[in-house]
A and B are shown apart, each in its own frame.
Chain A
């Protein structure tokens, strides 16, 4: 997803100031800590969208005015781009997982006890889960169902992370017994023609 499409969507509701757009974006994604977007990014995006004819500036303030003060509206091509985006399914993004890297580094280097790492991480996740639960509790279901839904999603992700930690803990010995992921070493320089990605040392020919 891109901030671009979110801006088009927010302008489909009503024309808005540049600064208002940023605040509205933050409200939708669930706050700055959930998805931080710098003002400059919003304004650059708005300028690009305007150049592409997807949005138009409808305030009296001319070219020179700061984008924060100008009012933008959705143009017809913008509406089309928006409906194309809305029509598509979303491919889930697989986040980089810092904890997984820590765990593997601990296993490979022996610098830290992986079981202890898991216990520490479990504590961290529970603290986070407690935070989200408290925030969810404070929401009013009559008026804040969108926030509740977003928090629910984050809570369920944490539940999955905690389940995964239990599984990782149970399988620690198996992982320890197996070779850890190592790169396939390649020869330096460009591979010779017709030889895509040969390994080093070269495989022993079978029929020779």
Chain B
């Protein structure tokens, strides 16, 4: 079973003349442990798709299923609960709290959720250490590089041990090198730690870290590409090469 499934997912902002169809009957499925990139021109509906999958907003038509459970059938409380337990968010701007240390920032969401602060910090420190920040636990955001701040944000998203990470342009505010590091880390989050990641990006270099790319245009899925190529078509192509063309 897919971890995420959307059925004719449709989102219309505004009404009448001014109505904008941000998503237009989108059907996608994402498997557990997959790293999926979502690409497409500005305004094509990438962020909207992420918000609907994450239960931050509700569709006008269609449905999202997480582990088979339809979000449309949940009330707001149930949706909030699901979001806290199953989903972590990462954004372009790291949204760390300036007066808190790295470990306090990463621990914050679960602390607010009622986990004992000492336990929350222990879990946060574990994730930060996995991400190479074991010696920067007490650093404040302004003492960290952009790449390091984003690693803190990814750790924060993982401290509640969610199955799914949704990342909207997580490298949009970083230079090439830090961007590569974050993309590589998100890949590890799927391959090493078994989570599922859906990442919006407009950067081909970053999308290439994923297992699959979904292309959106004008609110519709226009193409999907598996990046691991073991397909028969390629074997035929390499045969042709052997023959010589």
Interface residues of A (CB under 8 A from B): 119, 122-123, 126-127, 129-133, 137, 155, 158-159, 162-163
B228, A130: Cβ atoms closer than 8 Å:
yes
Q: Which of B61-69, B77-85, B158-166, B219-227 contacts A (4 or more CB under 8 A)?
A: B219-227
Cβ of B209 under 8 Å from chain A: yes
Q: Please pick, from A126, A155, A163, the residue contacting B207 in the complex, using a CB distance under 8 A.
A: A126
Cβ of B2 under 8 Å from chain A: no
A126, B225: Cβ atoms closer than 8 Å:
yes
Q: Please pick, from A119, A127, A137, A163, the residue contacting B229 in the complex, using a CB distance under 8 A.
A: A127
Cβ of B184 under 8 Å from chain A: yes
User: 15 A–B contact pairs at CB < 8 A?
Assistant: A119-B215, A119-B222, A119-B223, A122-B223, A123-B223, A123-B225, A126-B208, A127-B225, A127-B226, A127-B229, A130-B209, A130-B210, A130-B228, A133-B209, A163-B204
Closest CB of chain B to A102's CB: distance in Å?
A: 14
Chain A residues within an 8 Å CB radius of B223:
119, 122-123
Chain B residues within an 8 Å CB radius of A159:
204-205
Question: 12 new A-B pairs (CB below 8 Å) besides A129-B205, A129-B208, A158-B204?
Answer: A119-B215, A122-B215, A122-B225, A123-B223, A123-B225, A130-B208, A130-B209, A130-B227, A130-B228, A131-B229, A132-B208, A133-B209
Cβ of B44 under 8 Å from chain A: no
Chain B residues within an 8 Å CB radius of A130:
208-210, 227-228
Cβ of B213 under 8 Å from chain A: yes
Interface residues of B (CB under 8 A from A): 184, 187, 204-205, 207-210, 213, 215, 222-223, 225-229
Chain B residues within an 8 Å CB radius of A123:
223, 225
Complex Cα gap A145–B213 (Å): 29
A137, B208: Cβ atoms closer than 8 Å:
no
Q: Please pick, from A119, A126, A131, the residue contacting B204 in the complex, using a CB distance under 8 A.
A: A126
The residue among B184, B204, B215 with the most chain A CB atoms within 10 A of its own CB is B204
Residue of A nearest to B210 (CB): A130
Complex Cα gap A88–B208 (Å): 36
B184, A162: Cβ atoms closer than 8 Å:
no
Complex Cα gap A123–B208 (Å): 11
Complex Cα gap A95–B226 (Å): 27
Residue of B nearest to A163 (CB): B204
Residue of A nearest to B209 (CB): A133
Closest CB of chain B to A126's CB: distance in Å?
A: 5
Complex Cα gap A17–B61 (Å): 71
Chain A residues within an 8 Å CB radius of B187:
137
Complex Cα gap A129–B228 (Å): 10
Complex Cα gap A152–B147 (Å): 20
Residue of A nearest to B234 (CB): A127
Closest CB of chain B to A163's CB: distance in Å?
A: 8
The residue among A122, A126, A155, A162 with the most chain B CB atoms within 10 A of its own CB is A126
The residue among B187, B223, B225 with the most chain A CB atoms within 10 A of its own CB is B225
The 5 closest A-B pairs by CB, nearest first: A130-B227, A129-B208, A123-B225, A133-B208, A162-B204
Residue of A nearest to B229 (CB): A127
Complex Cα gap A162–B126 (Å): 39
Chain A residues within an 8 Å CB radius of B210:
130
Chain B residues within an 8 Å CB radius of A132:
208
Residue of B nearest to A127 (CB): B229
Chain A residues within an 8 Å CB radius of B205:
129, 133, 155, 159
